Amino acid sequence: MKMSVLLNVFLAVAVGVLAVKVFMPGGSENSASNQVLDNIMTRTSVRAYEDKPVEEAKVEQMLRAAMAAPTAINKQPWDFVIVDDPVKLKELADSLPNARMVAKAPLAIVVCGNFRKTIEGDGHDNWIADASAATENLLLAAHSLGLGAVWTGVYPSFHRVGIIQEVLNLPDHIVPLSLVPIGYPAETPQPKDKWNPDNVHRNGWNPAY
């Protein structure tokens, strides 16, 4: 009889704990979204990498994430160039002062706009927002896979655009927006808390949030 009572008590406690986990904030109901937020909040720019290749499966996962980014009227005006040739990586690093770390990365991905896929007329420049969203997805995917990456800006510097087009033999209608070196982190920089309520306004330019 005592064993039966103890078993019932144990089951009641277990059910109660499960209910708390499911319905309280931070429980399993919200665990997926919390993981997303944690990934966003802990991502940081990594500029030093281990001498270790990135698995092809992870490269594809990152590219799938990049292509899942929002895009105006689903035009998907982007192309992605994987650079894993050490000679090409060094050439890019030597030519781009803001991307010296590329020489030590096992690979880099160039996120490009494709002018043959852009919206005609006033929406032409939407490719910039679309490719930027794809770049951020790429960075978040890299972080979630245990990799480090950093966004090095290319567009709108036509000097940088021209260098990458020349090194990678890109056609004129392919315009690089960002160059993202990726690898297993050889450093662990701490993420910065960038929250500032002074940057938030409601219903107009109201200084009080």
Digitized pLDDT (tens) for each residue of the chain, 209 residues in all = 444 444 443 444 343 433 334 333 444 445 566 999 999 999 999 999 999 999 999 999 999 999 999 999 999 999 999 999 999 999 999 999 999 999 999 999 999 999 999 999 999 999 999 999 999 999 999 999 999 999 999 999 999 999 999 999 999 999 999 999 999 999 999 999 999 999 999 999 987 77
pLDDT of residue 209: 76
Q: How far is the C-alpha of 4 from the C-alpha of 42, rounded, in Å?
A: 47
Give phi and psi for 13, each to the nearest 5: -65, -45
Length of the chain in terms of residues written: 209
- Other C-beta atoms lying within 10 Å of the C-beta of residue 64: 11
Supply the pTM of this predicted model: 0.84
Instruction: Compute the CA torsion angle 156, 159, 162, 167 (nearest 10 deg).
Output: -120
Q: Round to the nearest angstrom and report the end-to-end CA distance of the chain.
A: 61
Q: Taking a C-beta distance cutoff of 8 angstroms, is the pair 77, 126 a contact?
A: yes
Tokens of 129: 């927002």
Spell out the domains of the chain, with CATH numbers in brackets: 46-183 (3.40.109.10)
Cα 34 to Cα 109, 132, 195, distances in angstroms: 28, 24, 17
- The 10s digit of each residue's pLDDT in 141-176 is 999 999 999 999 999 999 999 999 999 999 999 999
* pLDDT for position 32: 60
